[in-house]
């Protein structure tokens, strides 16, 4: 692992505990996408870490070219903290990274939460090309498709803020080439059966009923393959942690408390 890595702890002042939660952002994003959940977890005693992946946010380095590379990077980062037990929470591309990392860390993984993820996540070649050549236009397209209709005018969870525009600006401000590489990594991903065999921990797949990027039925299919739970957010698109943040916070917090409290 080379270069500086930024890991968001959302204001926690105490030492990292032996049991931790890792929040992994999606394509073209950074750790701030988890702010509404991460701050709550941190304030309520959960040791939470949310890294900016290489080339994203405040982390140095080149964007990783594949989900496999990203999972191995996260595995290496994770064990600089030497936790006893870990819950991995990932959104979209981050969920694919979480899934593969869970297979790598084995019994230390106390649980995984996959938000807006499926066993395969195809991306239209035209969108990948737009992300490479015209990232502003690509960001606008993704922003429009990622949220359930009307999010830009819906009452916001934080007064004076806009979840829709926050996500859109994150995409627009990503470094040149990052969004295109991330989308290509998602398109190239295939879920090998051997990874599922290596994951013995509890799992939860969260879907948005109005998700136009990863249909809810595909998320439920992944949950079935994992032998885990699924939960559908009826009023959300692909950005559930921003569209229904309070529900996401409650759901994640209940799983973190349950899974991290178990004996290894």
pLDDT tens per residue, range 20-74: 999 999 999 999 999 989 999 988 888 899 999 999 999 999 999 999 999 999 9
* Residue 3 burial class via C-beta count within 10 angstroms: exposed 0-12, middle 13-18, buried 19 and up: exposed
Q: Which domains does the chain have, with CATH numbers?
A: 7-120+190-261 (3.40.50.1820)
% pLDDT > 90, the chain? 71
Query: Which pLDDT score is estimated for 169?
Result: 87
Rounded Cα distance between 47 and 29, Å, is 22
Query: Which pLDDT score is estimated for 163?
Result: 75
Rounded Cα distance between 212 and 118, Å, is 13
DSSP H helical ranges for 23-174:
35-43, 67-78, 93-105, 125-133, 135-146, 163-173
pLDDT tens per residue, range 70-119: 999 999 999 888 889 999 999 999 999 999 999 999 999 999 999 999 99
Query: Which pLDDT score is estimated for 264?
Result: 46
């Amino acid at each position: 692992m080379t270069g500086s890595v930024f890991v968001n702890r959302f204001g926690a002042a105490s030492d990292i505990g032996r049991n931790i939660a890792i929040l992994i952002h999606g394509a073209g994003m950074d750790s701030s996408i988890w702010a509404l959940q991460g701050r709550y977890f941190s304030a309520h005693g959960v040791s939470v870490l949310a890294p900016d992946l290489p080339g994203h946010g405040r982390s140095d380095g080149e964007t990783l070219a594949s989900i496999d590379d990203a999972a191995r990077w996260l595995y290496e980062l994770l064990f600089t903290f030497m936790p006893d037990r870990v819950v991995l929470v990932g959104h979209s591309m981050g969920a694919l990274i979480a899934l593969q990392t869970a297979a790598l860390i084995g019994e230390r993984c106390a649980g995984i939460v996959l938000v807006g993820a499926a066993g395969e996540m195809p991306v239209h070649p035209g969108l990948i090309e737009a992300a490479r050549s015209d990232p502003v236009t690509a960001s606008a397209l993704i922003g429009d498709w990622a949220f359930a209709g009307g999010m830009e005018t819906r009452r916001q969870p934080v007064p004076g803020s806009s979840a829709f525009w926050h996500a859109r600006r994150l995409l627009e401000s990503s470094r040149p080439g990052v969004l295109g590489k991330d989308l290509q990594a998602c398109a190239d991903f295939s879920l090998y059966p051997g990874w599922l065999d290596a994951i013995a921990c509890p799992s939860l797949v969260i879907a948005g009923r109005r998700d136009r990027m990863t249909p809810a039925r595909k998320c439920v299919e992944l949950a079935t393959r994992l032998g885990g739970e699924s939960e559908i957010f009826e009023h959300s698109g692909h950005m559930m942690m921003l569209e229904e943040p309070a529900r996401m916070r409650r759901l994640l917090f209940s799983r973190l408390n349950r899974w991290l409290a178990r004996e290894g």
